[in-house]
Chains A and B, each alone.
Chain A
């Protein structure tokens, strides 16, 4: 066992943290109010070159393993969860392609992503949530049928990759986005997302039902978990700093156990969730048996940690937490939105539950 990040991971995290602390935090409210990530911010991230991992053979600076992907997502989401959800979308697609697509498809799509091109993975559905094993979308003879939610808007020139039953992964090649509607949401508002009717779109298969397809989609889910970790950490740190400064009854409120225990518990949840996410990412990359269960459990713990941390952060700040002067109300809305679009409790637990039934796996 070893829990030391590599030097490469450490320097990556440092660079991203500086960027998140200066650029992302500063722009977060404006992005939220505009309902999309500012072009300059997105361009600056492309410049840093870490949000989209593409192999050097395709013009990128190298791919990331799942654990590094978690670290990247956590740092960016610490800056702003909505911004992270949006700017990481091309990276999610690049990761899916590199794990599951043919060399020809990779050669076709990855150079554009390496150059900063946009793309999105359309996953979430109304009934299935983000449950990759219960997708209702169909793709008979390459004609897509279904409706997707929370699709990060890839822009008119971007690539769209769709997850359908099987699970299968498809690349949209023809068809207008006539039924795309921008979602007006509770949180993650700095990420412009679409409710997307797929009917009539033509698609090319990337893969169906293979171990590579499943691993690619599990890795994509872990990115959402990484965003939840960053959100939770932002909230815990903000609440802790506030509790050290704000006084009541002549003492900092953090001196009262009613406050300090909340912060201790949320910090503990966060560390536990991060360790489980890292273990899941490690197991996924090492193709260990049971990696799928770990990913499902990790997503659930990460989002639960984010929801609880943002809830308690608002509580610690009291009335001030409810006001838009502080970011905790934003994280509170973002956490619930993240929890709902991925629905990890429902999905992960349904997945885990499969093995408890008679005849289930040991």
Chain B
């Protein structure tokens, strides 16, 4: 039966995370943006506080092994929106599995889920996961990825260079996309787990960016990097030719709704901020009122519609309904709606909008990458188009 209510657990999570965003993230947003870093003690504190949510929702791990409905997809969209509302760069500094979660939980064997997620959850101090796919010459065009994995006895040997990897330098567990058959294009691609400190892996440059400046974006160089054979995500099953790029795509199907929700959180931050600003300022600038009201109303509609797409995609994933098209719809629309929200906020506020006294200029910088990473808006449209039209080319 059609029902849009979030269950009590999820409402409690949302309230908790909103409070967390208000108290812990938003106040640190500007300082982190300016310095481009977050202090280790803050990271540790974020990790401890985020750990408290285990009391409210079961973590990823407690969902494993069940065939019934899961909740991690909905946790990601409901939680992602609240946290990104607080600050999108800060949340990438909250210790946790990051994109390793969806990669391993959607494609890994039960044993891999236990072992590798334990590396993150059970280690001493703040621990991070990271997913490395993009290379300098290939983003959306995955068939052009060149990092190789060659089997040598009971080991894999990785060679290649990955770029734009969020938390790549600090990651305790890396999931790396590499090809086991360079001539095979997409179908040769597999995912591999590389643990921190593995010889043959080195951190290259740390990027300087337009936005999300306080988030670490790293280059990773693999030069004869040897990992155990059973670090191929999916285990022996993943060696079958048909397995192909599906594991990576499944990981993205699982993560895109949460990324869309984070974008919506940034858009909502700008919307809430400029709505509050308008309440006090517009009486003094009455000429702007019709423009302001029209922009705000359109923004409210846009964000509400995009939120529906993100929640639907997450609900489908949690109920094990294939959601590739719907996840792409969420990812294609959320960041655009949020960008429009940020543009409107700046335009409504005028010179105060571009001033660094307010956070809207930061949100405008932060939001842009959401239409690029995790699959650009354009590649999402390719996916949606193929679902509707079939493969025509």
Which residues of A326-353 are within 8 A (CB) of B?
348-350, 352-353
Q: Which residue of A lies closest to B294 (CB)?
A: A349
Task: Report yes or no: A267 in contact with B329, Cβ–Cβ below 8 A.
Answer: yes
Binds B, one of A150-158, A191-199, A254-262: A254-262
* Docked-complex contact A267 and B292, CB < 8 angstroms: no
Q: How far is the CB of B335 from chain A (nearest CB, A)?
A: 12
Contacts of A293 in B (CB 8 A): 300
Query: Across the interface, which residues of A come within 8 angstroms of B7, CB to CB?
Result: 1
A352→B294 CA distance, assembly (Å): 9
Q: Which of B293, B297, B392 contacts A252 (CB 8 A)?
A: B392
Q: Tell yes or no: A201 within 8 A of B by CB.
A: no
Given A254-B392, A263-B388, A272-B308, residue A352 in contact with residue B1 (CB < 8 A):
no
| A5 proximal to B (CB < 8 A) | yes
> Do A257 and B381 touch across chains, with their CB atoms under 8 A apart?
yes
> Once the chains bind, are A4 and B1 in contact (CB under 8 Å)?
yes
User: Is B392 a contact partner of A297 (Cβ separation < 8 A)?
Assistant: no
Residue in chain A with minimal CB distance to B298: A349
Say whether B2 contacts A67, CB under 8 Å. yes
Partner of B312, one of A3, A301, A350: A3
* B326 contact set on A, CB distance < 8 A: 271
CA distance A273 to B282 in the complex (A): 31
Residues of chain A within 8 A (CB-CB) of B5 are: 1, 286
Query: How many chain A residues have a CB neighbour from B under 8 Å?
Result: 51
- Least CB distance from A5 to B in Å reads 6
Asked if B283 CB lies within 8 Å of chain A CBs, one says yes
Query: Is B301 a contact of A297 with CB atoms below 8 Å?
Result: yes
**B24 CB, nearest partner CB in chain A, Å:** 23
**Interface code B317-330, partner A: CB below 8 Å = 1, 0 otherwise?**
00000000010010
Write the chain A residue with the least CB distance to B326: A271
B309 near A275 (CB under 8 angstroms)?
yes
The answer on a CB contact under 8 Å between B6 and A265 is no
Contact with A along B354-393 (1 / 0, CB 8 A): 0000000000000000000000001011101110111011
Q: Is the interface of A mostly helix, strand, loop or mixed?
A: helix
Q: Which A residue sits closest to B281, measured CB to CB?
A: A358
Given A283-B4, A301-B305, A349-B297, also A254-B389 (CB < 8 A): yes
* CB atoms of A244 and B390 under 8 A apart: yes
Contact with A along B326-349 (1 / 0, CB 8 A): 100100110000000000000000
For B325, the closest partner residue in chain A by CB is A267
Task: Assess the A251–B393 pair: CB atoms within 8 A.
Answer: yes
Question: Does A165 touch B at the CB level, under 8 Å?
Answer: no
Most chain-B Cβ atoms within 10 A of its Cβ — which of A6, A9, A275? Answer: A275
B339 to chain A, nearest CB (A): 15
Cα–Cα distance between A143 and B8 once the two chains are bound (Å): 50
A275 to B, closest residue via Cβ: B308
- CB of B25 closer than 8 Å to a CB of A: no
In the complex the two chains form, what is the Cα distance from A271 to B310 in whole Å? Answer: 11
Do A357 and B279 contact each other (CB < 8 Å), given the known contacts A6-B1, A254-B392, A301-B301? yes
Choose one: A9, A282, A358, A359; the contact of B3 (CB below 8 Å).
A282
With A275-B308, A275-B312 as contacts: A282 and B2 at CB distance below 8 Å: yes
The B interface, classified by DSSP as helix, strand, loop or mixed, is helix
| B233 close to chain A: CB less than 8 A | no
Q: Does B275 contact A (CB under 8 A)?
A: yes
B315 sits at the interface (CB 8 A): yes
- From residue A238, how far is it (CB to closest CB) to chain B in Å? 12
Residue from A263, A286, A350, A359 in contact with B385 in the complex, judged by beta carbons closer than 8 Å: A263
In angstroms, how far is the closest chain B Cβ from the Cβ of A171? Answer: 32
Q: Flag if B308 contacts A279 (CB, 8 Å).
A: yes
Q: Do the beta carbons of B392 and A251 come within 8 Å of each other?
A: yes
The reply to whether the CB of B251 lies closer than 8 angstroms to some CB of chain A is no
Q: A279 near B4 (CB under 8 angstroms)? A: yes
If A1-B3, A264-B381 touch, does A356 touch B393 (CB 8 Å cutoff)?
no
Cα A28 to Cα B390 with chains together (Å): 29
Residue in B279, B297, B388 whose beta carbon sits within 8 Å of that of A264 in the complex: B388
Of A240, A275, A301, which is within 8 A of B388 by CB? A240
Let me know if A5 and B2 touch, CB within 8 A: yes
Q: Please, which residues of chain B bring their CB within 8 A of the CB of A353?
A: 293-294, 296-297
Question: Which of these, A5, A244, A275, A360, contacts B389 with CB under 8 Å?
Answer: A244
Q: Are A244 and B4 in contact (CB under 8 A)?
A: no
- Bound-state CA distance A67–B2 (Å) is 8
Q: Is the CB of B311 within 8 A of A1?
A: yes
A14 to B373, alpha carbons, bound, how many Å? 40
Instruction: Report if A147 contacts B (CB, 8 A).
Output: no
Residue of A nearest to B388 (CB): A240
Residues B305 and A272 in contact, CB atoms below 8 Å apart: yes
Q: With A and B bound together, what is the CA distance between A265 and B301 in angstroms?
A: 17
**CB-CB under 8 A for A260 and B74, given A272-B306, A353-B296:** no
Task: Select one of B3, B301, B309, B381 contacting A261, CB under 8 A.
Answer: B381
Which chain B residue lies CB-closest to A354?
B293
Q: Chain A residue with minimal CB distance to B74?
A: A1
A residues within 8 A CB of B385?
254, 257, 260-261, 263-264
Given contacts A1-B311, A257-B381, A271-B309, is CB(A240)–CB(B389) below 8 Å? Answer: yes
Inside 8 A of A170's CB, which chain B residues have their CB? none
Q: Which residue of B lies closest to A260 (CB)?
A: B385
The answer to whether the Cβ of A104 comes within 8 Å of any Cβ in the partner chain is no
Please determine whether B283 and A260 come into contact, CB atoms closer than 8 angstroms. Answer: no
| Contact residues in A for B389 (Cβ distance below 8 Å) | 240, 243-244, 252, 254, 260, 263
Residues of the A chain whose Cβ atoms lie less than 8 Å from the Cβ of B329: 267-268, 271-272
Q: Does A180 contact B (CB under 8 A)?
A: no
B203 within 8 Å of A (CB atoms): no
**Assembly CA distance A353 to B4 (angstroms):** 24
Known interface pairs A244-B389, A297-B304, A358-B282. Does A282 touch B381 (Cβ–Cβ under 8 Å)?
no
Chain B nearest CB: distance from A25 CB in Å?
20
Contact flags A27-70 to B (C-beta < 8 A → 1, else 0): 00000000000000000000000000000000000000001000
Say whether B384 contacts A264, CB under 8 Å.
Answer: yes
11 A-B contact pairs sorted by A residue (CB < 8 Å): A3-B315, A255-B392, A260-B381, A260-B389, A264-B384, A271-B326, A275-B309, A348-B301, A349-B293, A357-B293, A358-B280
Q: A1-B5, A276-B304, A356-B293 are in contact. List 9 more A-B contacts (CB 8 A).
A: A2-B1, A4-B1, A243-B389, A257-B378, A257-B385, A272-B306, A272-B308, A300-B301, A349-B294
The 9 closest A-B pairs by CB, nearest first: A275-B308, A349-B297, A353-B293, A260-B385, A264-B384, A272-B305, A255-B392, A352-B297, A255-B393
**A residues apposed to B, CB below 8 Å:** 1-6, 9, 67, 236, 240, 243-244, 251-252, 254-255, 257, 260-261, 263-265, 267-269, 271-273, 275-276, 278-279, 281-283, 286, 293-294, 297, 300-301, 348-350, 352-353, 356-360
